[in-house]
Amino acid sequence: MELSWSDLAPNFRAILESCEPYLVSYPGNYGALDLEPFGVLIEPKRRYTATTLASRQLIDGLHVLDAATFGDQQMLMPRWVLFDCGEFPGIVFGFGRRARELSPRMREKFRVHSPSDDDAFVPLSMWVAIRCAEEGAWFGHNLSSANVLSETGEVLSGLATLTKVFGVKVARASRQYGATQWDSKSIGLHLRLGDMHVLSAYTPAHTHAETLSYRVDVDDAVLVRSLLPGYRASTAGGARYLEAEDVAAMRALQEDLERGERWTIVGTEARGDLPQRVRLTRG
């Protein structure tokens, strides 16, 4: 399905007009990927290979972004994890700009402040995804956006949303798996790509047991719709509510899932300073 720029919500159009898409993956993977997602070409110079020295500065930028976004969640990625799990076998996709196009404070953050760095390409967002053995299935390993560095004076509303929607398209994913925490604000963002079928509600295998894992069945029409003006999160449905600090409710849902029940996240509700409430429906 094609996406016409003129149809996009203005914030997404502004990102496409002011940023360039980039990709890190081993070139042997290119044939399986869509290097022109929704008609937007990832220029050859913005396709990076982690096995070359030329990719070093870009990869340093990915780790700055990772430290800024996941450093305080005890989920900082060692360099070898990103290499082994994303940059080589999978994809790191996102949007960025050359250093000369960034504010001085953003350049400081990414350590590209000297004039000799003017042309350095800085990744402002990333979706890291790993291909599963299951045909068409990808696991979303990391989603980050430099919007968390709002003190730099630069915010690109919708950056992570656009990154994930385009990343899923680059991967040609028909199923997207992922894991996130019940209190994560990103649940609302993931829901833009489709209903989230809950696979686990309480996950001690993860660093944080209060993690949920999920599957989204990818539908191009839903991806496109999430980028159009007037998109509204669903407010319908909800046979069960889970408050993000309620570990007993997570464990109860986990037991129901392991008994064979199926539950799908259809919405989130903010509750001021309290952890969000997540709305689920059967099926």
Ligand X SMILES: CC(C)(COP(=O)(O)OP(=O)(O)OC[C@H]1O[C@@H](n2cnc3c(N)ncnc32)[C@H](O)[C@@H]1OP(=O)(O)O)[C@@H](O)C(=O)NCCC(=O)NCCS
At a CB cut-off of 8 Å and minimum separation 6, what does 119 contact?
98, 99, 100
Q: Shortest approach of ligand X to residue 253 CB, angstroms?
A: 19
124: contact with ligand X by CB under 6 A: no
64: contact with ligand X by CB under 6 A: no
148: contact with ligand X by CB under 6 A: yes
158: contact with ligand X by CB under 6 A: yes
Whichever of 176 and 184 has its CB closer to ligand X, that residue is 184
Whichever of 143 and 196 has its CB closer to ligand X, that residue is 143
199: contact with ligand X by CB under 6 A: no
231: contact with ligand X by CB under 6 A: yes
Residue that the structure tokens 């930028």 belong to:
61
60 vs 48: CA distance, rounded Å: 12
Out of 29, 49, 174, 186, point to the residue binding ligand X (CB under 6 A): 186
Q: Shortest approach of ligand X to residue 51 CB, angstroms?
A: 27
Whichever of 209 and 252 has its CB closer to ligand X, that residue is 209
176: contact with ligand X by CB under 6 A: no
182 vs 254: CA distance, rounded Å: 13
211: contact with ligand X by CB under 6 A: no
157: contact with ligand X by CB under 6 A: yes
- Span near ligand X by CB under 6 A; candidates 25-33, 39-47, 100-108, 152-160: 152-160
Out of 147, 238, 246, 275, point to the residue binding ligand X (CB under 6 A): 147
222: contact with ligand X by CB under 6 A: no
Residues that bind ligand X (CB under 6 A): 9, 11, 69-70, 143-145, 147-148, 157-161, 180, 184-186, 188-189, 231
